[in-house]
Structure 1
């Protein structure tokens, strides 16, 4: 099996994004299954174009997108992507999202194909906090999650796909007033989650 795992580049004035930092440190293979790692731009629509090109090139069996969710204290596999984008924060192109539907002919929402409850259990079993999330927000994370699901419906029907949010890194948090997680713990948790998804 071949698994494409993506992580976003830094955005919003941050010098680091834990998503791509954790993805880069994942093993190149998990239980004999190839892990392909890809950095994606935190830019509406362009992020999906980059991922689609990689899907066409590598033909993975599974796509797992990873993103930063500042303020969360646990690794959170996402249940559903919604066909809506909004927000006041510009993406890395300097533009904010055009509020409204992501795809005019798309479903209102798409559920992940990943075994998120079992993934949460697997993450907890290696000592890392985890919980299922029912909202990936309305920024670029949800946008990419939705777009990959839309691609799956229209172009890649055999693909399994999903999204995992991770917390801030400790060096992103001033005075420890917001939750964070070490990079090693993120990598350990993501590895456990991916292993569970592979064997589902």
Structure 2
């Protein structure tokens, strides 16, 4: 096994003040996925899984992970960052193509509800994922888990995480590739809502993200496929 490693992040709890009950997460499934993958070896790469707890900006939580702090034990920056978050009522893993420099929250998160604010003041308008998103979708599907390429990570916290990871990589001149995977609700969350909507069990989510990691290692360049089957 080489000393190269992959960072997988999940988000912490959020939405405690959201008016819609389906948007409140005391436990974020993406954090559980990151924790389950922590310590695994995928295609010869050690996986470090961390749950991000942040208040105003994900930069605060991501910076120490890229600099070898917080117990990552990396001999350098990660080969790739696969960030994850939950997207309520979706049916598949969504490999995000783009993160935009806009925070326009659909609901208040604690006492914060940014409206038309930049994720990073003075940053570029957007960053494209540098993960092989189409190869990753193929790998996730081959693992028996539904997945699509998505062209909008929204303008809430997940978009901010993706944007900040790519911004840190770009401004530091790191060779690290980075991108974002949105995950469906787990069945337990849907069961608490008491109404029928989409869900995916945690085991399938973990298997799907593990397939994404494998695709990242095996595909330094993404596959070229037409875009008409991906989610707009």
**TM-score of the pair, normalised by structure 2:** 0.81
Equivalent in the alignment of 2:89: 71
Q: Which runs of 5+ in 1 are unaligned?
A: none
**Post-superposition CA distance 1:91-124 (Å, at most 9, x none):** 35x3222532222322111101111011001111
Question: Aligned runs of 1:157-196 on 2, under 5 Å?
Answer: 157-173=174-190, 174-196=193-215
Residue number in structure 1 paired with 2:98: 80
Higher radius of gyration, 1 or 2: 2
Native 8 Å contact 2:184 2:199 kept in 1: yes
Structure 2, unaligned runs of 5 or more: 17-24, 69-73, 220-232
- CA distance in 2 between counterparts of 1:129 and 1:42 reads 30
Give 1:131's aligned residue: 148
> What RMSD in Å do the two structures reach over aligned CA positions?
1.5
Structure 1 partner of 2:5:
2
The ranges of structure 1 where at least 4 consecutive aligned residues each deviate by more than 4 angstroms after the TM superposition are none
TM-score (norm 1): 0.93
Q: Which residues of 2 match residues 31-70 of structure 1 at below 5 A?
A: 31-41=43-53, 43-45=55-57, 47-57=58-68, 58=74, 59-70=77-88
Structure 2 counterpart SS, 1:6:
strand
Q: 2-side partners of 1:131 and 1:115: how far apart? A: 13
- Name which of 129, 136, 155 aligns with 2:172: 155
> 8 Å contact 2:89–2:198 — kept in the other structure?
yes
Instruction: Report which stretch shifted further, 145-154 or 167-176.
Output: 167-176
Sort the Cα spacing of 1:42 and 1:176 in 2 relative to 1 into closer, same or farther, 3 A: farther
Equivalent residue for 1:104, pick from 106, 121, 125: 121
Higher relative contact order (CA 8 A, sep 6+): 1
Q: Distance in 2 between matches of 1:136 and 1:88?
A: 13
Find the aligned partners of 2:195 and 2:207 in 1 and give their Cα distance: 22
Q: Secondary structure at the match of 1:197?
A: helix
